[in-house]
């Protein structure tokens, strides 16, 4: 399996120095890669360690320069960044929670819905703001799981699978009362 954790390289090389709003690139995200066996016998700690080593390698200044050069060329030719060997599975790891902790998302909440309270106390702000992602038409999303946020109410995620698998998932959700409304 190919595992591709992301690392923030902002401020780590001269090209990416300065205040983020005025900088060359606001969010400088580089992908690292590691090959790892993934099955029931592999402990989560081994997967985490392999991803951590890949991130440490990606954060070396000379590696950042190489990645930025490769990304510029990929953008020039229109190549996507999710690459793995034929017949291989792909695991993508990223965590933006720390980057978002000080951001004020209240302008993103629809004022009309906030005034109505969305079924809560009038004028109360929602407890969670859900951020999604956008992809170009034709982007394969066959096996995808993204956890966008977590709150007291539960998790918000995007999940996709092949049609036969989705039928099995729907049957499982219907049989489990704890997952009602999932």
Identify the DSSP state of 29: E
Identify the DSSP state of 106: G
The pLDDT value given to residue 120: 47
The pLDDT value given to residue 61: 87
The pLDDT value given to residue 155: 65
CA 50/CA 115 separation, integer angstroms: 47
Tens-digit pLDDT string for the chain (182 aa)? 666 667 777 777 776 666 655 555 555 677 777 787 777 788 878 888 888 888 888 888 888 888 888 878 887 888 776 666 777 766 666 655 555 666 666 666 666 666 665 544 455 555 655 555 666 666 666 666 666 666 666 666 667 777 788 788 888 888 887 776 65
Where along the chain do its domains lie?
1-93
Which residues does 32 contact at the CB level (< 8 Å), separation at least 6? Answer: 4, 5, 6, 7, 54, 55, 57, 58
The pLDDT value given to residue 38: 74
Give the C-alpha distances (Å, rounded to integers) separating 158 from 68, 69, 99, 162: 29, 31, 21, 14
């Amino acid at each position: 399996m190919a595992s591709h954790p992301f690392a923030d390289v902002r401020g780590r090389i001269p090209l990416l120095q300065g205040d983020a709003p005025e900088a060359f690139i606001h969010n400088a995200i580089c992908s690292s890669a590691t090959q790892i066996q993934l099955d029931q016998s592999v402990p989560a700690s081994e997967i985490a360690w392999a991803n951590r080593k890949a991130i440490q390698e990606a954060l070396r200044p000379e590696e950042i320069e190489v990645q930025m050069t490769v990304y510029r060329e990929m953008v020039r030719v229109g190549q996507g960044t999710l690459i793995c060997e034929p017949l291989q599975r792909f695991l993508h790891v990223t965590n933006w929670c720390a980057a978002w902790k000080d951001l004020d998302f209240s302008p993103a909440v629809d004022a009309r819905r906030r005034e109505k309270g969305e079924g809560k106390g009038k004028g109360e702000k929602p407890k969670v703001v859900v951020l999604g992602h956008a992809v170009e038409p034709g982007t394969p999303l066959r096996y995808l799981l993204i956890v966008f946020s977590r709150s007291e109410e539960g998790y918000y995620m995007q999940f996709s699978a092949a049609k036969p698998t989705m039928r099995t998932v729907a049957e499982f959700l219907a049989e489990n009362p704890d997952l009602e409304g999932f």
